[in-house]
Chains A and B, each alone.
Chain A
Amino acid sequence: MNNNNMAKVKKVLWAVVKYASLLLGAFVSVLPVVVCIITAFKSPEEYAETNVMDLPKSWTYFKNFTEAWDQANMALAFRNSIIILVCVLFFAILTGSMLAYILDRFKFFGNGLIRNLFLFASLLPGIAMQVSVYQIMYQLNWINNIAGYIVLMCGTDVISIYIFIQFFENISKSLDEAAIMDGCTYFGVFFRVLLPLLKPAIVTVMILKGVGVYNEYYMANLYLQNKNWYVTVATSLFKFTGPLGNQYNYICAGVILTMIPALLVFILCQKQIYSGLTQGSVKG
């Protein structure tokens, strides 16, 4: 009897601890962003007078957003970011899946070596490499050149290759052979038979790579220095580091604006994002 009671108390206690910790975790995760949202709706006077945690007088005060949109030139920033995103995703997925097709389907001299080259490349810290990549980009005259930046970002990363290879491994080879028997070329096998089957893997890579490219700040800042023309969503916020550095009502509005697309994608494709991350990690 007593034992039973003890067990019950223990169970309740554990439930309390469990939910309390979850609530705390969620609170800490959203607090910095929520305060940003609150501040984004405050007029300059209100911002100066009230505590940051006080709710704004009106939730329909949008002047900070319009101001931030203009100040940071976000119309252009979104246009540039979309161009970059679409091109990079298209080429990176095409070349990445082609490479994975070759590495998975054909045995040839150097197959393992190529895999290892990509693996080793992922060990090199990106920031360190930019010292000399910058020089190469400079010699190619690709600084302040969107096309050049797109090419740079298209470089295949080891994670997307592994996701594609994993996927190819699960597609039976008899499918290829049947297509070849029917007179298909190896190119045809890839484009007509395998690529359409690859859709789930493509979505995964698209999300992983898309988030990375959209959020890329350091490289965008380094290679697209002319902020009047080549600003991206991530670098558009750079504007606020200057004389506007203390007017957080504008800054927060800007931050929220850049976050909206990510938030939308997250809400719409939560499942794919989670499964994509999980797949990407089991790279062996």
Chain B
Amino acid sequence: MKEKGNFNFLKWIKSAKVNKVLCIITFMLVPLTLLFVFTYLPFAKMIGFSFYDMKYIGGREFVGLENYLEVFTRDDCFRALKLSLYYIGASFIQLALALYFASLLSFKTKASGVFKGFMFFPYLVCGIAVGFIFKFFYTRGFVLDTVLQWCGFELDNLPYWLRDTKINNFSVAATSIWRYMGQNMVLFIGAIMSVDSSLYEAAAIDGASGWDKFKYIIFPSIKTIIVLNLILSITGSLSAFEPPYVITGGNFGTGTYFVIMNKLAHESQKVGLASAMAVVLLVIILIATMLQKVFFRYFFGEGEEEAIRTVRKRQKREALEKQKMANGGGVS
């Protein structure tokens, strides 16, 4: 190259080493920029905002920890966190139902595809449509009341499902069971199907009952994914937002923590206070996640990691087999 006197740019670009670096940089540029601009920059800004008294537009005033104090002293913020208990309860029911239906539908069942499809479809309905559907469903004298009247209840004895503060949080939390149970079920079915089927055959020969099969084969093999979903559902419950937002708008005492935060941020424009609320919940979620991790490690030993490792090993083995098949297809 040097003899010719000019530097061959094209060749330089094409040389493997440069090409590799160039490829890494260009391919990562967009995703990392997006990640930075829409996740980590807002994250840093949010922490910054939480120390100011400010609106979206106009001046700001440094107030130190005042916003945080307000979060802890306002009665609506922390009371709202208690509502998470309803959603945690709902998610436990949801997981139990999903597990039950998944173990039914994974084995010979008539019309299992239809049942699966019906129970899964609510997951694909958009949030606000769910809101309207259930506003309608719970309206006085409408769907739910009619069904209950068929079952012999008197309309006068039935509560107002969305207004009665004794019951409305149950009603709203129940809609999230309706929406997400099918999704959990499909996940569990996938996990159950990936269990080595010879185990079931062996169990059948040994005369194991359905319950034995569940207890000794299904449950232990899909423990990891159950635990994972449990963790997700607890953090999800702490940040419950959509059901009350679209169904009641957070009225009649159904405003969860985030519904209140959303109101403060976008209606009252108390950006500083809302940011402080977000930071507080974030810390709670991180602590909860870590506690759960420690807790489950204590209970299940290294079960989680072990299961992940087995999955990886199996994938590697399958890949190897595939390769072998591809290479030695003619021989065998």
Residues of chain A at the chain B interface (Cβ within 8 Å): 14, 18-19, 21-22, 25-26, 28-33, 35-36, 39, 51-53, 91, 95-96, 98-99, 101-102, 106, 108, 114, 117-118, 121, 123-125, 127-136, 138, 151-152, 154-156, 166, 169-170, 172, 180, 185-187, 190, 211, 214-218, 222, 233-235, 237-238, 240, 248, 251-252, 254-255, 258-259, 262-263, 265-266, 270, 274-275, 277-278, 281-282, 284
> Cβ of B190 and Cβ of A281 under 8 Å apart?
yes
Q: When A155-B35, A240-B132 are in contact, do A136 and B245 touch as well, CB less than 8 Å?
A: no
A255 to B149, CA, bound (A): 26
Interface: B323 (CB within 8 A): yes
B46 at the interface (CB under 8 A from A): yes
Chain B 188-205 interface residues, beta-carbon cutoff 8 Å to A? 189-191
B65, CB-defined interface residue at 8 Å: no
Stretch at the interface among B68-76, B85-93, B135-143: B135-143
Whether, in the assembled complex, B298 has its beta carbon less than 8 Å from a beta carbon of chain A, the answer is no
Contact of A169 with B104 in the complex, beta carbons under 8 Å: no
State how many angstroms separate the Cβ of B259 from the closest Cβ of chain A.
9
Within the complex, which residue of B26, B27, B262 is in contact with A127, where a contact is CB–CB below 8 Å?
A: B262
Residue of B nearest to A137 (CB): B38
Instruction: Determine the distance from Cα of A63 to Cα of B191 in the docked complex, in whole angstroms.
Output: 46
Q: Are A125 and B281 in contact (CB under 8 A)?
A: yes
Chain A residues near B190 (CB-CB < 8 A) = 274-275, 277-278, 281
A52, A138, A237: the one contacting B143 at CB < 8 Å is A52
Does A156 contact B34, Cβ atoms closer than 8 Å? yes
Contact A36 B311 (CB under 8 A): no
- B31 contacts which of A95, A187, A190, A274 (Cβ < 8 Å)? A95
Residues of B close to A266: CB separation below 8 A: 117, 121, 124
B106 at the A/B interface (Cβ < 8 Å)? no
Of A96, A128, A259, A270, which is within 8 A of B129 by CB? Answer: A259
The answer on a CB contact under 8 Å between A186 and B19 is yes
Report whether A186 and B20 are in contact in the complex, using a CB–CB cutoff of 8 Å.
Answer: yes
* A270–B117 touching, CB < 8 Å: yes
- Main SS at interface, chain A: helix
Residue of B at shortest CB range from A135?
A: B56
Chain B residues lying within 8 Å of A237, measured Cβ to Cβ, are 128-129, 132
Residues of chain B lying within 8 A (CB to CB) of residue A14 = 210
Contact of A258 (CB < 8 Å), options: B45, B129, B308: B129
Report the separation of the CA atoms of residues A127 and B243 in the bound assembly, to the nearest whole angstrom: 13
Check A131–B274 contact: CB distance below 8 A: yes
Q: Do A101 and B31 touch (CB < 8 A)?
A: no
- Ordered nearest first, which 4 A-B pairs have the shortest CB separation? A278-B190, A128-B278, A215-B126, A132-B42
Interface string of B158-192 (1 = CB under 8 A from A): 00000000000000000000100011001101110
B313-329, CB < 8 A from A: 315, 318-319, 322-323
Contacts of A26 in B (CB 8 A): 114-115, 118-119
Q: Which of B40, B137, B311 meets A121, CB within 8 Å?
A: B40
Residues of A within 8 Å of B235, CB to CB, are 123, 125
Any chain A CB within 8 A of the CB of B63?
Answer: no
Question: CB distance B46 to A282 under 8 Å?
Answer: no
Q: Identify the interface centre among A28, A98, A238, A282: most chain B CB within 10 Å of its CB.
A: A282
Give the shortest distance, in Å, between A12 (CB) and chain B (any CB): 14
Shortest Cβ distance from B308 into A: residue: A284
Q: Decide: A106 and B186 in contact? CB cutoff 8 A.
A: no
Task: Please tell me if B297 contacts chain A, counting CB pairs below 8 Å.
Answer: no
Within 8 A of A (CB), among B274-320: 274-275, 277-278, 281-282, 285-286, 289, 308, 311-312, 315, 318-319
- For A30, list chain B residues within 8 Å (CB): 118, 121
Most buried by B among A132, A133, A281: A132
Please give, as numbers and ranges, the residues of chain B lying within 8 Å of A19 by CB-CB distance.
110
In the complex, the chain B residue whose C-beta lies closest to that of A51 is B146
Which residues of A have CB within 8 Å of B262?
127
Complex interface: chain A residues within 8 A of B186 (CB):
274, 277-278
17 additional contacts (CB under 8 A) given A136-B45, A155-B38, A186-B22: A18-B109, A25-B97, A32-B133, A98-B28, A98-B30, A102-B27, A127-B258, A128-B277, A132-B46, A136-B41, A151-B34, A169-B319, A185-B23, A235-B128, A277-B190, A278-B186, A281-B228
Contact partner of B126 (CB less than 8 A), chosen from A29, A133, A234, is A234
